[in-house]
Amino acid sequence: MKVAVLGAGAIGAYVGAALHRAGADVHLIARGPHLAAMRRHGVRVLSPRGDFTAHPRATDDPAGIGPADYVFLGLKAHSYAACGPLIEPLLHGTTAVVAAQNGIPWWYFHRHGGPWDGRRIESVDPDGAVSAVLAPERAVGCVVHAATELQGPGTVRHLEGTRFSVGEPGRGVSARCTAFSEAMVAGGLKCPVEPDLRNDIWLKLLGNISFNPISALARATMRQVCRHGGTRRVIETMMAETLAVAEALGCRVGVSIERRLAGAERVGDHRTSTLQDLERGRPLELDVLLAAVVELAGITGVPVPTLRTVHAISDLLALRSAEDAA
């Protein structure tokens, strides 16, 4: 199995190292000091489950890799539309693109069935720009239930979780999902093939849609936003509105809001990825989290006043942050 990891940051390098341990032919695509360190010393993984070092190939030139069986996308979703020149050399007729993104994916209504089948979600696929680069029929959905961070160039610290759920947009269990799952499991990760991954997407989104923007707006950790009475109530309302949209689309999350909050509080003083991006002057990945659900609420006719309010404020934060970075 040949796997190219496009965007070999904390999650991408962690997955690439695991697949390399399983015997896959892995190629990591990165740049800068991180790439130089991986070329020199491999990927060093520091984990409560045991440290290890893997030595997959690493490059900044996808053309030197050639077509792969799987491309694991470790990029942020807002980078998808511009990744055409990087991903094109990696594709052959049946290459699967495993998109490990937060939020609502561009392929969400591909082979969905029902009245919204094939509909484009503008907030995540504006004018079809992402679909033009990443054909939905190539997509294998992936929901990441793992936390990692780059401790330094070439070094990934695994914090918690090892589950990477995968699934077909058209539902069911396919051979390509099964083969990828088996390789991930052989590398020491959990990788269930979900018959309908959309339920898992909404489960993960329930936390991301609320904790991420609120933590960025408040400059606060998970524990802090859960323990503050005001922000806790806002998060509870956002979660309730999100569940209503999911149910209108036929999805069932199966986890109560109180249980989701309790789990987040146990994580402790963790800074969400959105807060980390804000602090580092990086683009905020809010379109696939908030804007997409607000758009889906409009499609389904579900009232989401709190989501709309938080989206408006956090959208201005994202714009101001981008201006400051520029």
What's the CA angle centered on 225, arms 220 and 226, to 5 degrees?
150
Token pair for 271: 């800074």
- Dihedral angle over CA of 28, 24, 20, 190, nearest 10: 110
Question: C-alpha 223: how far from its chain's center?
Answer: 22
Question: C-alpha 292: how far from its chain's center?
Answer: 14
d(CA 233, CA 252): 22
The amino acid present at 128, given as its one-letter code, is G
Catalytic residue among 2, 76, 190, 204: 204
CA dist 189 to 125, 204, 254, 299, Å? 30, 18, 23, 37
| Cα–Cα nearest to 70, from 142, 144, 126, 125 | 142
Based on C-alpha coordinates, what's the Rg of the chain? 19
Q: What are phi and psi of 43, to 5 degrees?
A: -100, 120
Active site residue 204: yes
The length of the chain, given as a count of residues: 326
d(CA 152, CA 215): 24
Token pair for 143: 């929901």
**Total Cβ atoms within 10 A of residue 179:** 15
Give burial (CB, 10 Å; 0-12/13-18/19+) of 31. exposed
Catalytic residues: 204
